[in-house]
Structures are given as C-alpha cells and as structure tokens.
Amino acid sequence: MPLREHFDIPSTLIYLNTPGNGLLPKESHQWRLEREKDFYDPKGFLRDQQPAFIDNVRAQIASSFDTAVERVFCTPNFSFGFSTLIDRMPRNLHFLLLEEDYPSLNYPIINRGLGHSFISVTANLEEDILHAIDKHRPDVLLLSLVQYINGLKIDLNFIKKLKISRPDLIIIGDGTQVLGTEPINFDESGFDALGTSGYKWLLSGYGNGFLLLSEQLKDLISKTTGTPPAPKEAMWSQKSLLQTIFEPGHQDTLAFGTLAQSLKFLQNIGLNSIQSYLSQILNFTYGELENRGLLLPIIAQRESRSALINIQIPPERYQELLNAGVRCFPRGTGIRIGIHLYNTLDDVQQLLAIIDRNNIK
C-alpha cells in the first residue's frame, strides 16, 4: 500500500505528529494552489459560486460518513460547531464529562454554568460510564472518541449499544482524533452529534470542520429555538433554520474545498483499507512498546486501541527525538505520537531504534 508517495515527506523526517497536525496530500496541495489563483482572478466567477460550492462539500461529507446531507453542517472547526450547538440546547440539561478531556468539550460547559458531573478515565471506561449514568442521571454524555493526551479510545460498539438501551440519552462526540482513520457510519453510530476539525487525521489544513446531527437532536434544537421568521433576504432564502445557526455568513471555499479534496482522497483509498493498513502497523507498534514497558497501564489493559499513542518517555527527552528527525509532541507523562496512512513499519522501527540507542526511557 504505497501511500507515502502521495505526501511530500523528506527522507530524513519521521512524521508522527498527526494528533497535532496532519499533512496535506500532494493532490490537495496542488488543488489549493490552482483554486486560489483562479478564485482571485478578477475575470473569474468562482467568488459568486460560494453557496453551490458549499452544498457540494456537504454532499462529500455526507457520502464519506454515511448520512443524509441535511444532517451535515460545515463549521470552521470543532470548537465553533460544538459551542454553537450547546448554546441552542435547553440550559437545564445535565452533562456527563470525562476528566481531562479536550478543553473545547469540557470548558464550554463549565464557563456557561451548565450542570455537569465528571468521571475519571480508567481502563474500564465503558463500565464507569454505565455506573455514572445510573448515579448522576445525565441528559447528555459528552466525550472525545479518542482522548487527546493518553490515546484511550472509546469502544464504538459500546456507544451503539448504549444508545439502543438508553434512547433518550443525548450522546455527543468529538471525532477529531478518529475521523480519517476508519469508516464511520454516523446514522448507525449511536451519536446524536459528531463533530470534528479537519486539520488532523482528515488531512485538510485549518479553517474547516463539520458537525453531524441526528434527527432527534435536530428536533430538540428546533423546539428550543422556536419558529422565528425565515430570512427575507434572497441570499439566505434557501438556508434551513439550522444552517442559519451553524453556518452564518460566508464560508471559506478554499478551506472547505481542501476538506472536500482530502475526503475524496481518503475515499479513493477506502477508509476500510486505511483501517486495515493502520491495524497492521499499530499491532506491531503496541507490541514493541509494551515489551519495552513504554505504554500507559490503562492503555495496555484495553482491547480498543487508537492510532494516537502516548509513549512513556520523559517529556524532557522531547528535544532529543526532534534532533533525531522525529516529529512528535510532549503530552502528559510522555511523548505523544500518531500513526497515519503516510507512516510505514520502517518509521516505527526507526523510532524504536532511536529510543533503544539513546536509552530514552
């Protein structure tokens, strides 16, 4: 599966920092260069075609994640989409949050003074969530599909079963550290809302993301918002009520076009194929790190594993890895890496050789 050739990665670089910022495929980069040139050509008409262009982006997102286009909302990033969402939900809802989850999930609940309870992230996260639901009776479960510091991944089958057993529970997920690594069927996922930013595993650069909403949550937002009069201006006459909420103003067609291009790239390869490719490398990586005692205990105990790994190397050794050509990032008690489709088994073997040679433990 020769995928590295689609990216401009110097042979001297081991790029493992996708959890911080993914790389842009050559095809997407070339599209951007041509698009920007044409867009700002005063003789051209691209600037007048923004609404239809964003419609096509929505359709590409819907196709990529198996949902209806009416459930897709283009947002500049996860944080904007999520904050807008909770501002349109009833204020008397009680949220169940995970300790040390991504600040863009937890802090908007806290700074709005909304009711919430925390649970610790342990190796038995799914069981802990069930106990916490019985104890706190939350209206909303809010979590990242993969924890951004330690890489713990929620069992996605657990979410499906949870929604079936507790249909009234609203489940909201941040998929920024997952989408792009495996197939996700939103309509069957159990999530009522699934949002993401595009600049990490979706390989789309900054300024783009999206929010997917279930019919159940769309109805709740509509009831909370009421029935304000529809916009009278022609430029907004085709917008739905929720589009006026989540997609106000003009959208950046360069940013969202890049997202659409990268989604086409991922679809052409096949998200099933990407998942299979990553699984082979990850099985080897987890095994080697576990043999060296470099996995967090809560990760070593779990079957559900992500492409984001926190290697238990002292964070102060980060500069040594950078000097050796390894792009990574210190997080928590270790160094965070990510394995994506442009990585190879050789990348991992080189990383392990650097760790062993320099006794970085």
Residue 48 has pLDDT above 90, yes or no: no
Residue 229, pLDDT > 80, answer: no
Together in a domain, 99 and 114: yes
Q: What is the pLDDT of residues 183-222, one digit of tens each?
A: 999 999 999 999 999 999 999 999 999 999 999 999 999 8
CATH number at residue 302: 3.90.1150.10
pLDDT at position 125 over 90: yes
- Burial (CB count <10 Å: 0-12, 13-18, 19+), residue 288: middle
Residue range 281-328, pLDDT digits in tens? 999 999 999 999 999 999 999 998 999 999 999 999 999 999 999 999
CA–CA separation, 73 vs 107, rounded Å? 22
Predicted model pTM? 0.95
**Shared domain check, 122 and 45:** yes
Are 197 and 281 contained in the same domain? no
Are the CB atoms for 185 and 243 separated by under 8 Å?
A: no
End-to-end CA distance of the chain: 32
Check whether residue 188 and residue 57 sit in a common domain. yes
Contacts for 230 with CB less than 8 Å, ≥ 6 apart: 237, 241
Q: Is the pLDDT of residue 2 over 70?
A: no
Residue-range definition of the domain harbouring residue 336: 4-24+270-357
pLDDT value at 357 more than 70: yes
Q: Does 275 lie in the same domain as 169? A: no
**180: phi > 0 → left, psi -120 to 50 → alpha, else beta; which?**
left
Q: Are residues 305 and 213 in the same domain?
A: no
User: What CA–CA distance (Å, rounded) separates 144 from 273?
Assistant: 24
- How many domains does the chain divide into? 2
156 lies in the same domain as 135: yes
